[in-house]
Amino acid sequence: MHVVRKTSYEQDMQLFAHRGVAFWYGVLVLAALLAPLALNTYYLSLLTFVCVYAVAGVGLMLLTGYAGQVSLGHAAFLAAGAYTEAILQAHGIPFVLSLPAAAAVAAALGLAVGIPALRLTGIYLAVATLAFAFIVEEILTRWESVTRGNFGIAVEPLAIGPLSFDAEWKFYYLAFGVLAATLLAARNLLRTKTGRALVALRDSAIAAQSFGVHLAWYKTVAFGLSAGLTGLAGALYAHKIAFISPEQFTVMVSVELLVIVVVGGLGSLHGAVFGAAFIVVLPQAIVLAKSAFGISGGGQAAVDSGVFGLLLLLFMLYEAQGLYGRWIKVRYYLELFPFYRRATFRRQKTYARTERLQ
Amino acid sequence: MSLLAIDNLSLHFGGVRAVEDVSFRVEPQEVFTLIGPNGAGKTSIFNLISRIYDAHAGRIAFEGRDITAIAPHEVAQRGIARTFQNVELFEHATVLENLLLGRHVRFRTRLPFELLFTPSVRAEERAHREKVEEVIDFLELQHYRDSRTGNLPYGVRKVVELGRALASGPKLLLLDEPSSGLNTEETEEMSFWIEDITQELGITVLMIEHDMALVREVSDRVLALNYGRIIAAGDVESVQAHPEVVRAYLGE
């Protein structure tokens, strides 16, 4: 077990707690960069999906995991990003402009939802965002002159100037780069004023307000940033799938995004990445399991939903900190072996709260 | 000039008169204590000053400026910090993060620069960290700096909450029952801190407290409330001996 002896305040602001941690992240990045050499196109494609979903996961994590605002409508922001990218590309706008535009459109939509959502919390907010996602889905289907309705839009392969992202490995690097930048920005945010304000908003809105946190402003910021990142993921998603239609952005997708943050571990950026890996790998694992047991036939979607639901339930009941929480425990177990005690992580009771805002 | 001037303040919840025509003045660097039985309207007055409730009638002025109708998050900017009766810490954050949040209104960093964690953001984080460390030293919280507040014992949490309020660098500190839930020793410590806060740091304290030993120890002036109305005001002895106060606590 590594004990850091701190000698300056700067050490608490660093990205990595100490050199050992930085080293292992370096190894991870190196492994990610070398992945195209070792993996075939199929597995690399899965890895690309993990990156894309992780970007959206970080977006939802900021909103739900850190600011404590539940959203069941994030598929709408994913769709906004995807459609903006597809439409702008069809009009010949270069990717370096269309990608920020996709994020900006989604963020603007996020602000539009965020402002009326200021008065709502908990289950009411979840239902309001759900309703919003239904509206967006309906608009995508009906506004045929722009979205081509249920025919969908074919998305051309991505190119930045002469550099074409036609091969899987090239697109993988792009997605990985976006994920790395997203994680860095999110990490920066969380170690500064705004990040602390979001956490304060989640843990005690009344205390946050008494210390000068403008609740409405920070809720709006959380919605805007979250939607913007999800839109960014949507733009990448459009290119990855190469075809988008309204049925790719249903409520099920919103639920998947929520599964990412809950199963990954609410309130941790690691969790967003773990959750994304989980959601990409699970359907593949189900397919493998089905063929291993000799079960044939369809119903994949039904089995996926069933298993998602079951796992979500089990995580809520037995591992509220998600995969990241489980990982921390495993790590402690190994570091402290044989002295690990279950009680180390026993959940503490919280005390009664004082007057709440209505 | 009085630091805090409250004039004819009233707060009604339907037919319940939580605060009724209350007026008092808090002078700079004194410890002013509100006492009274449960439901007397003490915390309601705090919540009116914090702008959590809208006053039905009356006026609250801080440093001569009217704050009766400002936005709730502006109260901290004016230099008023508070603690809560049942502790309202950010439970999933560390003590350090809680105290840094206490300095929220003093940060000047902007979102785009925070996302990039520019050198100016780093410098500001560092400067505020130094201020927070002063509070940590003052309240002897070094040992708990990196602990999650949700895991700390109740007594320590009360101190952390006091620390968060001090970190904001207030002119007026509102303490809602600082000794509730504390044992005798912790209460004793709390009384020393309150004295230090007024005498060393020069911060004015407006406090709600039930522990009469603590009230006697630290208060300069006391105001007794019952059913939202003032029943007595003055120094500790005279208020405690006031027949209305005795009746409010003991009944007829």
Q: Let me know if residue A239 belongs to a domain.
A: yes
Mean of pLDDT values over A286-312? 75
Whole-number pLDDT of residue A342: 67
CA distance A261 to A236: 19
Q: At A351, is the pLDDT very low, low, confident or very high (cuts 50, 70, 90)?
A: very low
User: How many folded domains does chain A comprise?
Assistant: 1
Q: Do A203 and B129 touch (CB under 8 A)?
A: no
Q: Phi, psi (5° rounding) for residue A297? A: 95, 180
Whole-number pLDDT of residue A344: 62
Q: Let me know if residue A64 belongs to a domain.
A: yes
Q: Which residue has the higher pLDDT, A149 or B11?
A: B11
Q: Let me know if residue A355 belongs to a domain.
A: no
B5-56 per-position pLDDT tens digit: 999 999 999 888 999 999 999 999 999 999 999 889 999 999 999 999 999 9
A307-327 per-position pLDDT tens digit: 878 887 888 787 777 788 888
Q: Give the type of residue at A152.
A: G
Q: Do A193 and B107 touch (CB under 8 A)?
A: yes
Q: Let me know if residue A7 belongs to a domain.
A: no
Q: At A352, is the pLDDT very low, low, confident or very high (cuts 50, 70, 90)?
A: very low
pLDDT tops 50 at residue A214:
yes
Whole-number pLDDT of residue A353: 37
Q: Let me know if residue A8 belongs to a domain.
A: no
Q: What is the residue range of A42's domain?
A: 16-341
pLDDT tops 80 at residue A354:
no
CB atoms within 10 A of CB B138: 17
pTM of the prediction? 0.89
Residues on chain B touching A267 (C-beta within 8 angstroms): 92
Distance from CA of B52 to the nearest CA of A (A): 8
Q: Which residue has the higher pLDDT, B7 or A8?
A: B7
Mean of pLDDT values over A129-144? 89
Q: Do A210 and B50 touch (CB under 8 A)?
A: yes
Ranges under pLDDT 50 in chain B = none
Q: At A350, is the pLDDT very low, low, confident or very high (cuts 50, 70, 90)?
A: very low
Chain B, residues 72-101, CB within 8 A of chain A, namely 72-77, 81-82, 84-93, 96-97, 100-101
CATH of the domain at A319: 1.10.3470
Q: How far is CA A66 from CA A69, A197, A267, in A?
A: 8, 9, 5
Q: How far is CA A22 from CA A19, A137, A176, A330, in A?
A: 5, 43, 18, 20
Please give the domain boundaries of chain B with CATH numbers for all domains: 28-51+69-250 (3.40.50.300)
Q: Which residue has the higher pLDDT, A300 or A285?
A: A285
Q: Let me know if residue A346 belongs to a domain.
A: no
A107-123 per-position pLDDT tens digit: 999 998 888 777 887 78
Q: Which residue has the higher pLDDT, B79 or A153?
A: B79
Q: Do B87 and A351 touch (CB under 8 A)?
A: yes
Q: Say which residues have a Cβ less than 8 Å from residue A177's Cβ, sequence separation at least 6.
A: none
Q: Let me know if residue A193 belongs to a domain.
A: yes
Q: Let me know if residue A225 belongs to a domain.
A: yes
Whole-number pLDDT of residue A358: 30
Q: Do A211 and B76 touch (CB under 8 A)?
A: yes
